[in-house]
Amino acid sequence: MLSSSSRFRSLPTLAADAARSAVVEFDDVKTRVETYQPSFLTAVINMLVLILLIVVVAAIYRQVKGEPRLDTVNNPERRSWMQQRLGNRNDDGEFVSFAHGLFGCFDNTNVCLISAFCPGIRWADTARMAGWMTFWVGILVVCLVQLGWLFGLLGWGLTVTVGVYFRQMARQDFQMRAGGFTVCEDCLAWTFCPWCAVAQEAQQYEDAWDVAHPVAKHAQERAMERNRVVR
């Protein structure tokens, strides 16, 4: 039987052993975490779940917002301000830029929030309002781009390419400068702040519909023509 002094002398040894054991276990867990690589199948399943979530949220968004309507601004001062912003031209008769700045997200809180949390859905709605495609075709494009992220940088490349292509189309719709250096500008916008780019483009078309801008009227005509063809 150990004496009291022997037991007390063994306490530091026991504590040291426990500490060493804890360090070993921690290192083992850390190694497992650092070396863990999810399988490609797991990544595919996660992506499919994400796409399903996008479709569900898109359906809810579509139901809540409904179809875009022309000429919804009744306040004369705000209407005049929006028309002035949309008609901001330089000496050459070109539109200077988008009506809202790249970081003017908070000019429209609703657009800002949906662009921040569901940028793909907001982009698809902008594509619908621009007359480029239907809302659900836009969602399909978003889902296909999303699948590109399974292959790393391919997802980034697809996101920027699609974003810049249609941003250039928006510039052409509003007779802004397009091509050349603006492609670099749009690449930077979609690379470093795609949420801001989505919000900026969305606000441009939301304003156009609100004041019945010719671009919005033309988009409505294209949508009606497309519906007639489908029927």
Q: Are 200 and 63 in contact (CB under 8 A)?
A: no
Write down the mean pLDDT value for the chain. Answer: 82
51-107 confidence digits (pLDDT tens): 999 999 999 999 999 888 887 666 666 666 666 666 555 555 555 678 888 888 888
- As a whole number of angstroms, the distance between CA 227 and CA 52 comes to 26
- As a whole number of angstroms, the distance between CA 24 and CA 181 comes to 57
Span 165-173, mean pLDDT? 94
Confidence of residue 204 (pLDDT cuts 50, 70, 90): very high
Question: Domain limits of the chain?
Answer: 1-36, 40-230
Residue 91: per-residue pLDDT: 52
4-52 confidence digits (pLDDT tens): 555 445 656 655 666 566 555 656 655 665 555 668 888 899 999 999 9
Show contacts of 67-72: CB within 8 Å, 24+ apart: 68/128, 68/129, 68/209, 68/216, 68/220, 69/209, 70/209, 70/212, 70/216, 70/217, 70/220, 71/210, 71/211, 71/212, 72/209, 72/210
Record the pTM: 0.78
Confidence of residue 213 (pLDDT cuts 50, 70, 90): confident
Q: Are 129 and 205 in contact (CB under 8 A)?
A: yes
- As a whole number of angstroms, the distance between CA 95 and CA 172 comes to 10
